[in-house]
């Protein structure tokens, strides 16, 4: 199976959560494959299993039944140590709430996965990752000194620093205003054009329309899976948006 161009392949993936005496079937027989270079949006109402699916694909959680191959390797046969290596080295995760460590600078946040891995990667990798998201000049700022959109760009740099096989993002624009959200989609589209494979969860059809493919979920199942024929281009959309609000320090400068 390795080398056939599929980064992700699942077969009959099921996840049940026990809630007291009852069980919740969060995922029911999801069989999905994602080829290298695809940008897949996962849509569906709240509770349809999107986060559960993303967590299984990110090896953050394990399925009740079914199998999952990442880069052709069967993750259900991996032990805890192998799985944590996979999470650290082959999966880049981006969250709705950024999840940066507040006491660390942007650069140190981006370095963290390298620290955890214990492998000596390229010393330039964190800085290069920040350059890719356009934040090199803010690398010594802490999260509280950055806007929401900038914090999410740091989180994307952190997800990229280990050069993962796949980028997973759960509602990455959910906490952002529309312009900052579009800037995040611009970064994702650029990364995707450079060859990155990614899956992003969103409930926003306009965000999904930036992807190359849309998978729709209901009640733990995939109910539709289609290519995007009229893909939105973040660069064009941003060019057509009104200019951003002036920065605080600029506004203060005008006060006599
Ligand atoms: P979505 O991300 O589409 O909103 P989720 O994957 O978070 O959906 O949830 C799918 C279903 O599984 C929901 O019914 C949710 O309540 C349930 N669920 C999710 N996580 C847990 C958990 N840790 N324990 C119990 N039930 C859960
Ligand atoms: Mg969710």
Q: Distance between CA 64 and CA 14 in Å, rounded?
A: 6
DSSP state of 16: E
pLDDT at 123: 83
Answer for the pair 139, 106: CB distance below 8 angstroms, yes or no: yes
User: Residues with Cβ < 8 Å from 229, sequence gap 6 or more?
Assistant: none
Atom of ligand 1 nearest to the CA of 19: 25
Q: What ranges do the domains of the chain cover?
A: 37-63+82-240
Could you tell me which CATH class the domain 37-63+82-240 is placed in?
alpha beta
Pocket mutation for ligand 1, best pick of 46, 52, 223 (most atoms within 8 Å of C-beta): 52
Look up the pTM and report it: 0.92
The number of angstroms, rounded, from the C-alpha of 120 to the middle of its chain's C-alpha atoms is 24
pLDDT tens per residue across span 166-218: 999 999 999 999 999 999 999 999 999 999 999 999 999 999 999 999 999 99
Residue 154 CA to residue 76 CA, distance in Å, equals: 31
Give residue-wise pLDDT tens across range 118-155.
776 788 999 999 999 999 999 999 999 999 999 999 99
| Residue of 22, 45, 47, 221 with the most ligand 1 atoms within 8 Å of its CB, for mutation | 47
């Amino acid at each position: 199976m390795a080398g056939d161009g599929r980064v992700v392949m699942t077969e009959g993936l099921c996840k049940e959560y026990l809630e007291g005496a009852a069980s919740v079937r969060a995922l029911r027989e999801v069989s999905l494959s994602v080829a290298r270079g695809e940008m897949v949006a996962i849509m569906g109402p709240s509770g349809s299993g999107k986060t559960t699916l993303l967590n299984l694909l990110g090896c953050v959680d394990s399925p009740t039944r079914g199998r999952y191959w990442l880069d052709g390797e069967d993750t259900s046969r991996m032990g805890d140590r192998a799985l944590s290596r996979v999470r650290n080295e082959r999966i880049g995760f981006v969250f709705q709430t950024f999840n940066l460590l507040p006491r660390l600078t942007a650069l140190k946040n981006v370095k963290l996965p390298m620290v955890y891995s214990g492998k000596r990667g390229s010393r330039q990798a964190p800085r290069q990752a920040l350059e890719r998201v356009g934040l090199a000049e803010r690398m010594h700022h802490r999260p509280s000194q950055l806007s929401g959109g900038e914090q999410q760009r740091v989180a994307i740099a952190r997800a990229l620093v280990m050069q993962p096989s796949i980028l997973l993002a759960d509602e990455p624009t959910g906490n952002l205003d529309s312009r900052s959200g579009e800037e995040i989609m611009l970064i994702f589209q650029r990364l995707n054009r450079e060859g990155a494979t990614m899956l992003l969860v969103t409930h926003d059809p306009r965000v999904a329309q930036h992807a190359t493919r849309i998978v729709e979920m209901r009640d733990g199942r995939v109910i539709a899976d289609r290519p995007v024929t009229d893909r939105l281009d973040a660069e064009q959309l941003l060019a057509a948006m009104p200019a951003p609000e002036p920065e605080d320090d600029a506004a203060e400068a005008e006060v006599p």
